[in-house]
Structure 1
């Protein structure tokens, strides 16, 4: 459903930006899918200013041209050659300055440039209305009557306003919001502003005339039927303002009578239909069903066979004129020759309309609303509104009193509501005065108030509010879903007590993740050899927690690192010809500082051997460091919503080491185990080990769910090849790139690295891919090139990189 913001502002005062209004509507349940800016005049009259013709002389080389001097508010008047017959000194005119793009009514857009016309310099253009897209006339330039200063933007004079079209993904239950006033009612509730309904008090009383009579034979399908007769109508094109209103929401103007019914439909939500009164046989309208199989030709000139339950609007001869609430017929529609109109405004049963629309596969603006449920109380108001517009626009005379057949009034729904249930279902206490204010602004009256609850009186137009839970939902959507705090963990039973984040649950989550990626969990002894810390120099023997009643010297101390016990497991498996190893262990490490004992939970991973098992489809390769790095990043991304910093560090356990940090806290260290250390364990293949500080990970983890809308605009990839010093890491390049372009640079990846005799000694070459994306618009070449040039300049300046082009 499309809503014009300028149109909407006729019913409610709005100072907020279109984006803010979109947010508020989405918060209330009217999900805004897009907001599109529509220019009143193509180009927005950019570069067009008001000027004053100071001099006007004949062109020395052309009889039909004149040379003018025009004051456009600049330091000096500009000379403009003009061919319009009506240009003269003293006139206020519209001037297109040099560099302005003009978008004429007919023809291609063009840019105003400095030029010589028949040998005389011209710096601008004095415009006719068709040349700037305001009208059709090209008889001469526009001569303005204004006291505005020279140089004032022309848009200020014409008071042109851009519009914003708000696309709402209307859910089936919210038929009450299927109009501009319907949307205004929700904004009234959240912004505490009043809805200004168009005034119909000018509708005349005590009208004498010969109306078309009405008989409703099926009051179940048509509980209320209202109508009136208008005469002396002149059918023709609608005024520009009305056509613009319809065009703004995607409707094509037809004629003033049909356009008014469409306008009132999208204004109030009440469908209407206009019949040519002179073509109504017997001057009588009968609302009834016709025998099954009766043929009827609709406005699209298709002959249809009616079902037994199709409600029809018939004439006095029982001939169908319209499928009620769905589609009109060819015989009684308004044409240029129409002089009398019978105007219908009715409330039809949603069940009947839904079945008929589905049976005939007809989906119209009217059926869309009727089958969901319209407001039975608005039929007469809509008639008055449309009749007054026809009187104003089409010269109509209101020729009859309003006929209103409403045998059984549709009463408001009465719903018992408990304050305790409001707080229970929302999950937090909502102050009673707040509840009362919200419901009042939603036109829901409260009666029989007590300390425990009240009775809610729901107007008939709110067809979706039928029970206590619906009343509570109304309170919540206006109070604000965002004001209800999210719990630590998600649960379908929001009344339950929520556990604190559980380390055991997180450990199980990561265990399942690792197992699904081919890892095996191991459990090793917390007791280990004192020699591991003494001989290998990777921990401090003085910090070892020594066992007082040792069972043996090999189990004499508590381990300070998972590495040694995991290497023992690796050696055992390799000696039994199990060389492809993916192992993990959750275990504790122990240390002593000044007689204070420390116990830390760690997660260790070992990756070694071939990356894949041998098979005929793929070539074998050994595991390398980046395979382990990918697994570690996968683990951390699963439970941390934080950016990781990488740093190359020195660690005697590894041949090379990478430290992962969140802020200043190290949460993981990984690398290839030093070959000398591996050999001491009898291992002759490369072993990669990761040591994750699980306590630290648990401490900074959270259960918040972070999401972003799927981007509507495409990504752009640009590749770059750099020759840099060997001591510069990819992380250095990535961080520098993000530092220089944080807005549209989404990702930096390395897809190739080269070190060899084809480049200078001490250098290496990186091949990088940069992913660029703007979430608000499509990137053009100018922005992309500017971004890449800025990145290349930073690499050359700060990293002394050579860009290979």
Structure 2
């Protein structure tokens, strides 16, 4: 969404710089993604100044050229060769100095350089209108009538002003901010300044006149409909000021009537539509539904088959417009129009959203209607637009000013507690601060006590319907940055709320991963069906298909976080960011036996170098164990230690393992199958871990078990085993745990050997066994007996050879 600063200043006094305003808007939730300077004349006439010709003589080597001296406010007049027939001594002129760039009305831009013309030095250019983009005239140079001092910027003489346009990434819930007035409301609350609504005078229809009649048959889809008729209008090009505002936000002017409807839409947020009254058969507008399959041609000249649920604006003989979405080709305003029927309505958001989706139509009006507009604004907007039409296009209001509103939409009433506001914000605000913020947001209060109140929320704030929403409104205006982080915030939270909390667990996990050098990503839940078809481990029959998908690339819900994560890796790698550690909390979606299920997952990705190369250490590529290390660290955080390890069977991995706890699979990790990585154009090695986040949360300990440090020493014994190469470390670990009871406190592999000193199908593990008794000091006899028992078990169960 684009917002013009000059336009915004009509509704609120602003003295801050564009950058300061952008910061304020972003802090309130209207994130400014960019600021663009829009110049009324391209280049803004930078480097062009007012000058005075102090001397003018014929050029000695050219009949049509003259040598001039021009005072531009510097120490010495500039020598300029000029070919204009009307240049003369004493004139005030526009001078382009050396280094400035001119943007002519026709042709390519060019830069002014110091030059020699027929042997004479020229240090600038005296300009004509077309040479600086002001007009079409090239009969001669511009001669100025001004007393401004020489050297004054030409932009100042011509009273040119730049505009700044904010690109706002509007979130779907903030329909109230989809206009200049909506943005001004937030600035009003933050800056505590007054809004300046455009003044609208009462309209008095011509006596004994007749306009277009109106009826609404479907009041559920159209709770309010306002309209009036203006005759005697002259449809032509809009005035310059109106065109300038529309062009600033990227809208091409059409004609004065259509431009006014667009202007009102973007000014105050109320969609408008103007009909050529001559196209309304029977001079009656009827808001109703037409039969299924009815043909209707829209403004884009496409014939569409209507659905029975589509709300239509009709005449007595047929459709004129798809209500709130798109106009018809035969009812629009053209240069031949003399009488206009002007519509301002409030349509059901659900009705418009479904219609726009069914017909795949995305318009400015539908964008606002499907999110929720202000039912109390229709009549004001109607009169405002009509007033502008009367001023710009002429004419007079005839007939009745219609306003059909059988069942007024009520305000939202929300019971709110001051203590709840403070609890959710994490800081104690005074009741006065809360009341002032809510008043600035046009949220009134009733039944007010020292502890509670009832908030009266106007219906245009469709996103504020719960106590938590009120708290969010207070917080975004008070300022997120004004809430200090307490050093004991985490411990206080856990002590006051011992109940297991999913959000807190996710925050704790995020802190652990971020501290380990990972960056969080958030990816789209929509993906393409080809991903599921590429992997045998992902059942494409379980895909949840999107009925009205916008793209083949986004036509199903994802069954795995793998491919969306690979797409992020691909985007970064192509931008030379090859060393990546990423994590994502996300949801996967499945359809089984016509039942839809969702699963919460946590994914980890590592690729590229483990660390940057330095004078101290050489760089190396990440390995499987770099990923497994952080996986085990995370599992330890959740109090999970005794894990069952199996080789991963999924074709998602080239190799990997699956970790289970109490026979419940918790995480699969390994190297991503290169064939799947290449689907996302990722050619380097990627290691991936997929956690069952819901299962993981179940095991988080509400209480932490601990025991005092043993006062008896720990003993370490090393052992080297030669076993068949098919024997895994997990097989050895399970046997060791089973045959040592509580004495074994740790087991570590410090070397693995395969080579010519042992058999081709063998490998040697060098391991350290850590033994400790919590009740007494271990004797050599007990230690030797335990180690001999392990040796016997390894020789018997694993056919191991002990290297002595």
- TM-score, length basis structure 1: 0.62
Bigger mean CA deviation after superposition, 298-307 or 4-13:
4-13
- Hey, what does 1:280 align to over in structure 2? 280
- Asked whether 1:13 is paired with 2:46, we answer no
Structure 1: distance between partners of 2:491 and 2:384: 48
1:376-423 CA distance string (max 9 Å, x none): 111122122212222222233333452211122222222222212222
The residue number in structure 2 matching 1:214 is 214
The 1:519–1:444 alpha-carbon spacing in structure 2 relative to 1, beyond 3 Å, is closer
Q: Find out whether 1:195 has 2:307 as its counterpart.
A: no
| Distance (whole Å) between structure 1 residues aligned to residue 99 and residue 403 of structure 2 | 61
Q: Distance in 1 between matches of 2:755 and 2:153?
A: 75
Query: How do 1:284-683 and structure 2 match up within 5 A?
Result: 284-315=284-315, 317-488=316-487, 497=496, 516-517=628-629
Identify if the C-alpha distance between structure 1 residues 514 and 379 changes in structure 2 by more than 3 Å, giving closer, same or farther: closer
**Is the 1:66–1:81 Cα contact (8 Å) retained in structure 2?**
yes
Q: 1:78 to 1:374 in 2, by over 3 A?
A: same
Instruction: Give the secondary structure class of the aligned counterpart of 1:164.
Output: strand
What is the Cα deviation at residue 16 of structure 1? 2.0
Q: Distance in 2 between matches of 1:136 and 1:54?
A: 27
Number of aligned residue pairs: give it.
540
Confirm or deny that 1:27 pairs with 2:139.
no
The CA deviation at 1:5 is 1.8
Bigger mean CA offset, 172-181 vs 237-246: 237-246
Q: How has the CA–CA distance of structure 1 residues 440 and 496 changed in structure 2, closer, same or farther, with 3 Å as cutoff?
A: farther
Q: 1:78 to 1:337 in 2, by over 3 A?
A: same
Distance 1:519 1:203, change over 3 A: closer
| Residue 158 of structure 2: aligned partner | 158
The answer on 1:129 being equivalent to 2:241 is: no
Residues 438, 495 of structure 1: CA spacing in aligned structure 2 closer, same or farther, 3 A cutoff?
A: farther
SS at match of 1:402: strand
- Structure 1: distance between partners of 2:148 and 2:202: 37
How far does the alpha carbon of each residue in 1:140-198 deviate from its partner, in whole angstroms, 9 at most, with x for none?
22222322110011122223233222111111111100001100101111111111112
Tell me what 1:659 maps to: none
Q: Which sections of structure 2, spanning at least 5 residues, go unmatched?
A: 499-506, 517-623, 634-712, 724-747, 757-804
Q: CA deviation at 1:491?
A: 6.6
Q: For residues 442-482 of structure 1, what are the alpha-carbon distances to aligned partners after superposition, in whole Å with 9 as ceiling and x for unaligned?
A: 01111221122112111121111112222122111111222
Q: Distance in 1 between matches of 2:392 and 2:53?
A: 38
Q: Give distance in 2, aligned partners of 1:86 and 1:173.
A: 61
Whole-angstrom CA distance in 2 between matches of 1:41 and 1:434: 46
Alpha-carbon separation, structure 1, partners of 2:22 and 2:493: 28
Secondary structure of 1:79's match?
Answer: strand
The more displaced of 118-127 and 473-482 is: 118-127
The residue matched to 2:64 in structure 1 has which SS? Answer: strand
Distance 1:92 1:319, change over 3 A: same
Give the corresponding residue for 2:263. 263
SS at match of 2:320: strand
Distance 1:82 1:202 in 2: 58
Distance 2:77 2:465 in 1: 71
What is the match of residue 235 of structure 1? 235
Go from structure 1 to structure 2 and tell me whether the alpha carbon gap of 1:267 and 1:495 turns closer, same or farther (over 3 Å shift).
farther
Contact 2:289 2:309 in 1 (8 A): yes
* Contact 1:488 1:498 (C-alpha < 8 Å) held by counterparts: no
How far apart, CA to CA, are the structure 1 residues paired with 2:126 and 2:243?
29
Contact 1:228 1:401 (8 Å CA) reproduced: yes
**Mapped contact 1:33–1:169 kept (Cα < 8 A):** yes
Aligned residue in 1 for 2:555:
none
SS at match of 1:64: coil
What is the alpha-carbon distance in structure 2 between the residues aligned to residue 467 and residue 519 of structure 1? 39
SS in 2 for 1:450: coil
Query: 1: distance between equivalents of 2:229 and 2:463?
Result: 34
Aligned to 2:120: 120
Larger CA deviation: 283-292 vs 161-170: 161-170
Equivalent residue for 1:94?
94
In structure 2, the residue matched to 1:651 is none
Give the Cα separation in 2 of the matches to 1:389 and 1:374.
Answer: 22
Partner in structure 1 of residue 665 of structure 2: none
| Contact in 2 for aligned 1:427/1:495 (Cα 8 Å) | no
Distance 2:63 2:398 in 1: 60
Question: Which deviations, in whole Å up to 9, do the C-alpha atoms of 1:652-705 show, x marking residues without a partner?
Answer: xxxxxxxxxxxxxxxxxxxxxxxxxxxxxxxxxxxxxxxxxxxxxxxxxxxxxx
Q: Say if 1:73 and 1:480 are closer, same or farther in 2 by CA, change over 3 A.
A: same
Gaps of 5+ in 1: 522-564, 578-605, 616-805
Root-mean-square deviation (CA, aligned residues, Å) is 3.6
SS at match of 1:73: coil
> Residues 595-636 of structure 1: CA distance to partner in whole angstroms, max 9, x if unpaired?
xxxxxxxxxxx99989x9889xxxxxxxxxxxxxxxxxxxxx
In 2, the alpha carbon distance for the partners of 1:377 and 1:441 equals 19
**Cα offset for 1:506?**
8.6
How far residue 55 of structure 1 moved from its aligned partner, in angstroms, is 3.2
| Structure 1 residues 399 and 614: CA distance shift in structure 2, 3 A | farther
SS at match of 1:399: strand
Q: Secondary structure at the match of 2:93?
A: strand
